[in-house]
Chain A
Amino acid sequence: MKRVMGVAALGLSACLLMGAADGSWLRRVPAADKARVNPLSDRKAAAEAGFHVYEEECAKCHGREAQGKGNRPALISERMKSTTDGDLAWLLRNGNSWKGMPSWSVMPDAERWQLVAYLRSLNTPAEAQHLEGARQ
């Protein structure tokens, strides 16, 4: 019985993750949130701190190089480039729980913005190069 329950639970979670990368969450972002800009003025310092948050909280699912893992999407992509800071902040706060992405609302606002700064820098080649240098 326990084995059947375990297999069913794993099957269910795999099914729910199937559509994780379709970007449909972008349609749920309210206009006011979409328009928000990252309030952290020192973007380089924010991105460096965001890198540590990424390594601790995000890399296990999205990969250390943000290349994606299994059904969990890559975070260096055309879609990421087209999102606003507000879109990303909204996703981190709300998650996309029906498609596998947990909410990070427990993280303080400023830390989520640091993470947004890092994700943005990953998708901006010049900034990504600078961060790579800083990491080494």
Chain B
Amino acid sequence: MNARFAPPLRLILVSLLGLATVPAHGQEPPYFVTYSHVMEEPGNLEVASQNIGASPKNANAFYGQTIELEYGVTAWYTAEVYFQGQTTLKDSTVFTGWRLENRFRPLRNEHWINPVIYVEYEDINNADKSFLEITGHHVISDQAIANGLLRSDVERSIEGKLILSSNFKGVNVSENIIAEKNVSNEPWEFGYAIGGSHALASHASASNCRFCRQYFAVGGELFGGLGTRYDFGFKSTSIYAGPTVAYNSPHSYTITAGPEFGLNANSAAVLWRLKASYEFQQVRDLFRRNR
């Protein structure tokens, strides 16, 4: 193993060990990339801003922003739309595209492992630096190309994910298997994401507090590409892992933050992430006659 990988791996191991020892809570698991089987509550609209910054070796530093609108259509169906852009130092600021996402929970009851089917259509150009998932042969050196060239190459893809997620004694463990197909004649690309999280308290407090332990959750995630149909595997693609922490405020907003460390030479050394979201409660009541 390369010596460069040792500090991030140590940090990840420490945070995973931490998951096993702290007591539990927190509503949505604190993931940036991994999906769990927690769906948006029916009628609620969540608006989120997901921010990412990195300064890759041999490429200009960049900042990416994704705006997410997530709506709980039913308790088993959540729809989401994303708008993305990025700005690269000494280059330009560009809109990189949009995504339309649907998640379906097919089983009625809670099981040991809970599957969710994810279907997405995306219209994204190659200047995208959102890192919402890694598929195929995603390497950081591609980010060194000027935005003007990258944005002219637009990819329209259908993406499917099989989300497997479990909750046990306050711990959430989620695994995502990703398959993506460009609607033009390009091969299937694959990827994965794995996350684990735990809340910081197992009981709610009887006092009316804003920063009780029950509102905090810690976790970690690991994600990367798996090549294409013709060249499947961990070679020539990037892998990231890192710890995350989230504050689920009792006033409907959530802040999630954490660094993600590149685990091989195809990855940026570190991606800094911050996500802020606000949940508008029962938006559909505004359109009902009898409230």
Contact = CB atoms under 8 A, between A and B. Distances in A.
A28 B76 CA distance: 18
Contacts of A70: 285, 288, 290-291
Contact of A103 (B110, B172, B214, B282): B110
B161 interface: no
A43 to B, nearest CB: 12
A50 B203 CA distance: 9
Interface string A47-75: 01110110011001100000001100000
Contacts of B214: 111
B233 interface: no
Interface string B272-288: 00000000011011011
Given A70-B291, A111-B25, A49 B205 contact: yes
B260 to A, nearest CB: 23
B206 A53 contact: no
* Chain B facing A: main interface SS: loop
A97 B75 contact: yes
Contact of B24 (A50, A100, A108): A108
Contact of B282 (A28, A57, A61, A105): A61
A55 B230 CA distance: 53
B25 A108 contact: yes
Interface string A68-95: 0110000000000000000000000111
B110 A50 contact: no
Contacts of B41: 60-61, 102
B57 to A, nearest CB: 38
Contacts of B26: 106
A53 B108 contact: no
A45 interface: yes
Contacts of B39: 102
18 contacts: A13-B43, A13-B284, A48-B206, A49-B204, A49-B205, A49-B206, A53-B204, A60-B282, A70-B285, A97-B105, A103-B75, A103-B110, A105-B110, A106-B26, A106-B29, A108-B24, A108-B201, A110-B203
